[in-house]
Amino acid sequence: MNDVERFLAHAVQLEREAARRYEELAAAMQTLGNRTLHEFFSRMAHYSRLHLAQARARAGFRELPALAADEYEWPDGISPEIADWAGVDALMDARAALLLALDGERRGHAYYATMAATTGDAELRAIANEFASEEAEHVAELEKLVAACPA
Ligand code: ZN
């Protein structure tokens, strides 16, 4: 992909889906009575919305294209609409919730890293690298939480 606006439209969609998933996970943890993870997932939802706003701001004066569902081009398995996420249910335990969140962050990281590695556009590469390193931090944070959460 070499079109920055098109890339940012994908980033906005990816972050929007991430925020929704985190809100679902936060709700599930509230049902479970896990206050720590409820707060953590709520905070991650907030970060996703910030990231979404940041992606929009990156477009500056440029108009982001409004893409129809079938106009997005996601590399294999990266689609934020991926079926895994239909699996968020109110009875999921803390570890399952963290693993789902980790999976989502890994997909986000893979998407941005792939875009950075494959684009011929220097601006797109710079933004994608920046987003990829934020996702890498999220992945690391979740890996720590998973490791601390007994099976
Ligand atoms: Zn993230």
The domain tally of the chain equals 1
Which of these, 90, 87, 92, 80, lies nearest to 13 by C-alpha position? 80
Residue 45 belongs to what domain range? 4-148
Per-residue pLDDT at 127 = 93
Q: What distance in angstroms lies between residue 25's CA and the mean position of ligand 1's atoms?
A: 14
Q: What distance in angstroms lies between residue 122's CA and the mean position of ligand 1's atoms?
A: 23
Per-residue pLDDT at 39 = 97
CATH of the domain at 93: 1.20.1260.10
Give the Cα-Cα-Cα angle 134, 45, 65 (nearest 5 degrees).
Answer: 75
Averaged pLDDT in 10-residue chunks for the chain of 151 residues = 88 90 92 94 94 83 80 75 59 88 91 95 95 95 93 77
Q: What distance in angstroms lies between residue 22's CA and the mean position of ligand 1's atoms?
A: 10
Which of these, 125, 130, 126, 124, lies nearest to 109 by C-alpha position? 130
Q: What distance in angstroms lies between residue 141's CA and the mean position of ligand 1's atoms?
A: 10
Q: What distance in angstroms lies between residue 42's CA and the mean position of ligand 1's atoms?
A: 13
Is the full-model pTM beyond 0.85? yes
Give the Cα-Cα-Cα angle 41, 25, 98 (nearest 5 degrees).
Answer: 75
Q: What distance in angstroms lies between residue 78's CA and the mean position of ligand 1's atoms?
A: 13
Q: What distance in angstroms lies between residue 86's CA and the mean position of ligand 1's atoms?
A: 19
Q: What distance in angstroms lies between residue 150's CA and the mean position of ligand 1's atoms?
A: 23
Contact between 19 and 48 under an 8 Å Cβ cutoff? The reply is yes
In eight-state DSSP terms, residue 64 is P
Q: What distance in angstroms lies between residue 105's CA and the mean position of ligand 1's atoms?
A: 5
Q: What distance in angstroms lies between residue 128's CA and the mean position of ligand 1's atoms?
A: 13
Q: CB under 8 Å to 129, separation ≥6 — which residues?
A: 112, 116
CA dist 17 → 86, 96, 119, 120, 121 (Å): 12, 19, 23, 27, 26
